[in-house]
Each structure stands twice: as C-alpha cells, then as structure tokens.
Amino acid sequence: MRFDYIFKDAFDTFKVFQNLTVDQANELPENAPQSIWQILNHLAILQEEELTILNDMNQKSAVKESESWVEQKTVDDQTQLDRILVQLNKQIMSVKAKVSELSISTNNLEQKLIAVQNFSVHLSFHLGEIVLIRRMNGSYPLAADMKDFLA
C-alpha cells in the first residue's frame, strides 16, 4: 500500500504563498482575527511540533495551540517573510518524505497516519483562511479563475 499516493494532494498549497508581499501579509481585513503574517507564524510553530511528533511518536507536544500565535501582526521586510515561507515549504516537504517512508510494517503506523492527517487538516484550514484574506484584498483569484491560475 502506497501512503504517498493516498496523501498525494493533501499538502498542496494551491500557490497560496506565491508572490506574497509584505503588504499582503500585513493586511488585516475588518473583523479578521489574524493577519496572514500571524497565520504563517502559527503554522510554522505548530507544523514543527507536528513533525517532531511524527519523527518520535513517544514525543508529546510541548507547544499549546494558544501559545503559537505571535503578537506581532506585521512583518518588517520581504526577507523575513520569504524566510518563513521557505521554512513552511521545507516542513511540507519533510512530511511528504515521511509519508513516502510509511508502509504496512511501519511501527506505530496508525498513530503516524493520524499525525499526518492532523498536519494536512491543520494546513488546509489555515490555507483557506489565507486564501479568503487574499481574495478579500484582491490578491488571489476567485474560484472561477482557479483553473487557469493553478495551471
């Protein structure tokens, strides 16, 4: 059984991070609870925790979800923003690599699959938030334009 095939599209970021600028990362639409910058930091912190657990199933999370939200609502420069985007992409590549190693004979397979599922669901939820914020600010295509955008 190939688990990488099962999770083939689970970590697709749908170009959400592509061409993301400091201004876009800092925008906070009315009633939005967090900026894109805060969401990116939250993702990076929790994904690192999830990867640690996936690598060592005896490891327990040391970070509480509520503690993973940074107070800094804005990013200072493109270099800082690009650094976290590279980190997020590396984390996604790492989990994909771990999934490709899974087999029926993998120790703690069920727990590892749950960890992978949690990673992908959490990522998907926050990608949706970022898409919505970017669409509200006019920097991401609407649903009808996605086919051409993703091509």
Contacts of 70 (CB under 8 A, 6+ apart): 37, 38, 41, 42
Number of domain units in the chain: 1
Give 74-85 pLDDT, tens digit per residue: 999 999 999 999
Q: Which two tokens stand for residue 28?
A: 């906070």
Q: What one-letter code names the amino acid at 93?
A: M
> How much is the average pLDDT of 88-100?
96
* CATH for 36: 1.20.120
Q: How confident is the model at residue 71 (pLDDT cuts 50, 70, 90)?
A: confident
**Predicted TM-score of the model (pTM):** 0.91
Range of the domain at 75: 3-150
Whether 59 shows a pLDDT value over 80: the answer reads no
In this predicted model, which residue has the larger pLDDT, 41 or 29? 41
Contacts of 64 (CB under 8 A, 6+ apart): none
Q: Is residue 75 a contact partner of residue 25, using CB atoms and an 8 Å limit?
A: yes
